[in-house]
Structure 1
Amino acid sequence: MDGWRRARLTAVIYDFGVAHERLGRLGGRLLWGADMRRFYRDLDRPRKPADGERVLDVPCGGGTAFRKLEPGVSGYVALDLSPLMLRRARDRARRGGLHGIGFLQGDVADLPLRDGEFDRCLSHFGLHCFPDPAAALAEMARVLRPRGRLHGTAVVRGGGPRQDALIRLFQRIGIFATVGTARDLPRWLDAAGFDRVEVDADGAVAYFSARRAPTGRP
């Protein structure tokens, strides 16, 4: 995570690439052997939170997840550790007329948020940057209400020799931290207190969703 907090050039290149679908799809294919059309389709579905719904976007990066939100949105909180990413996200929100989004700087390992504060959590391409992904998922579960939903994507090991070598390179230079496999995700989610877990891998990209267990779980 500290690598993203300090590395301005890396953050800007990543944000520019993922924000432009053609570049993002090309990068996903070349780097991770994944068809990123699904990722962009998923981003385009929720145009705005339902009435009274609270949504947490962590890490929000430069604001790609809210690129299709409609003006007048409320109840949406974007959180990131990187001041640079938060500035880019604020700029994107301002250009889109999204004045109701709240922005927070914070660490996913210790979210500055109350228990059960959100109905939905989005976590796109951040899990592999966290030193302890399982603990990060537990924090996301904590701030979700019972039956709240989590949706996300992550780079995972096991997608192929070339992808695994690239992951190791990114770990050495501090861009990635702990990177699990697609088989690790259900275990981490279950331990965090989620149920109805779904994980689907495409190359080295995993799509995951889960529900905060209603009662009787951590």
Structure 2
Amino acid sequence: MDDWRHARLTALVYDFGIEHERLGRIGGRLVWGADLSRFYRDIHGLRTRVNGCRVLDVACGGGVAFRGLRKEGSHRYVALDLSPVMLRRAQANAERHGLRDIGFVQASVTALPYQEGGFDLCLSYFGLHCFADPQAALAEMARILRPGGRLQGTAVVRGSGLRQDAVISLFQRRGIFGTVGSAENLTCWLAAAGLREISVDRDGAVAYFSARR
């Protein structure tokens, strides 16, 4: 969503909540009816999964995934976001974690400035539901993956309950969320992007997804 390019308060509130694990867990339970323990476990697991990989983090937000990176490693990591506010926070977060080998890029997810097959791993944590066209975004993420490369991430989805769907609609009216589909829609979008070994697991209104090109 273009609103994220300029919506400083929205960006800061979101980033503060997700970056602080205890608050993130509480917010996940209260707002989305989800236990975000798996989300934080997945991030901590990056420590071993990114070794030797070319990684694209889109949309990187304030850099919540950085906590799963080693200070020194053999990976090449690019953090991409449309919002300059988020990118500045991500850069500050990288400095706090002592991470110096991260590239920061401001760009749209529907026009990634990379050639086909340039990355081994694409991460997309809680960004997909903010995009106006998530299907096109997933197609771009698939395009930049090498054959056998992996996409993994999380997204808010519809269909878990009236309260969660009402919150999604509210966020859409305020320009915070873009197009939000169901877990079934997400599965179809991943397949349409030409991805395989698709896995979509829903916990409350949060979907955990992974696939390979």
Match of 2:33 in 1: 33
Match of 1:215 in 2: none
User: Is 2:123–2:151's contact at 8 Å kept on the other side of the alignment?
Assistant: yes
TM superposition shift of 1:42: 0.6
Q: Runs of 4+ in structure 1 displaced over 3 angstroms?
A: none
Structure 1, unaligned runs of 5 or more: 213-218
Q: How does 1:174-213 map to 2 (within 5 A)?
A: 174-212=175-213
Q: Which SS does the other structure have where 2:68 is aligned?
A: coil
Q: How does 1:4-153 map to 2 (within 5 A)?
A: 4-47=4-47, 49-51=50-52, 53-73=53-73, 74-153=75-154
Deviations 1:162-212 (Å, cap 9, x if unpaired)? 000000000000000100000001110011010000000011000000000
**Paired amino acid for 2:2:** D
- What is the alpha-carbon root mean square deviation over aligned residues? 0.8
Structure 1 length as normaliser, TM-score?
Answer: 0.95
Distance in 2 between residues matched to 1:38 and 1:100, nearest whole Å: 26
User: Is 2:3–2:175's contact at 8 Å kept on the other side of the alignment?
Assistant: yes
**Paired amino acid for 2:141:** M
Distance in 2 between residues matched to 1:198 and 1:121, nearest whole Å: 15
User: Is 2:56–2:119's contact at 8 Å kept on the other side of the alignment?
Assistant: yes
TM superposition shift of 1:68: 2.6
Structure 2, unaligned runs of 5 or more: none
Distance in 2 between residues matched to 1:95 and 1:65, nearest whole Å: 13
Matched residues, number = 211
